Chains A and B, each alone.
Chain A
Amino acid sequence: AQRVTQPEKLLSVFKGAPVELKCNYSYSGSPELFWYVQYSRQRLQLLLRHISRESIKGFTADLNKGETSFHLKKPFAQEEDSAMYYCALSGRAGAGSYQLTFGKGTKLSVIP
Chain B
Amino acid sequence: DSGVTQTPKHLITATGQRVTLRCSPRSGDLSVYWYQQSLDQGLQFLIQYYNGEERAKGNILERFSAQQFPDLHSELNLSSLELGDSALYFCASSVAGQGAYEQYFGPGTRLTVT
A and B pair up: yes
What 1/0 flags go to B84-107 for Cβ under 8 Å of A?
A: 000000101000011110111111
- Is B27 among interface residues, defined by CB-CB distance under 8 A? no
Q: In chain A between 31 and 76, which residues have their CB closer than 8 angstroms to a CB of chain B?
A: 32, 34, 36, 43-46, 49, 51
Shortest CB-to-CB span from A102 to chain B, Å, is 4
Residues of chain B with a CB closer than 8 A to A105's CB: 42-43
Please tell me which one of the listed residues A32, A45, A51, A90 contacts residue B105 in the complex, with CB atoms under 8 A apart: A45
Structural contact, B56 and A93, CB atoms closer than 8 A: yes
Structural contact, A97 and B105, CB atoms closer than 8 A: no
Q: Which residue of B lies closest to A33 (CB)?
A: B100
- Is B48 among interface residues, defined by CB-CB distance under 8 A? yes
Residues of chain A with a CB closer than 8 A to B4's CB: 43
A45 to B105 CA separation, bound complex (whole angstroms): 7
A90 to B104 CA separation, bound complex (whole angstroms): 14
Residues of chain A with a CB closer than 8 A to B104's CB: 45-46
Residues of chain B with a CB closer than 8 A to A112's CB: none
Please tell me which one of the listed residues B55, B102, B108 contacts residue A97 in the complex, with CB atoms under 8 A apart: B55
- Is A26 among interface residues, defined by CB-CB distance under 8 A? no
Residues of chain B with a CB closer than 8 A to A32's CB: 100
Shortest CB-to-CB span from A29 to chain B, Å, is 11
Residues of chain A with a CB closer than 8 A to B106's CB: 43
Residues of chain B with a CB closer than 8 A to A94's CB: 56
A44 to B91 CA separation, bound complex (whole angstroms): 10
Structural contact, A86 and B43, CB atoms closer than 8 A: yes
Residues of chain A with a CB closer than 8 A to B35's CB: 102
Structural contact, B42 and A99, CB atoms closer than 8 A: no
Residues of chain B with a CB closer than 8 A to A99's CB: 45, 48, 56, 58
* Apart from A43-B108, A45-B104, A45-B105, 11 more pairs, CB < 8 Å: A51-B100, A93-B56, A93-B58, A97-B55, A97-B56, A99-B45, A99-B48, A99-B56, A99-B58, A100-B45, A104-B43
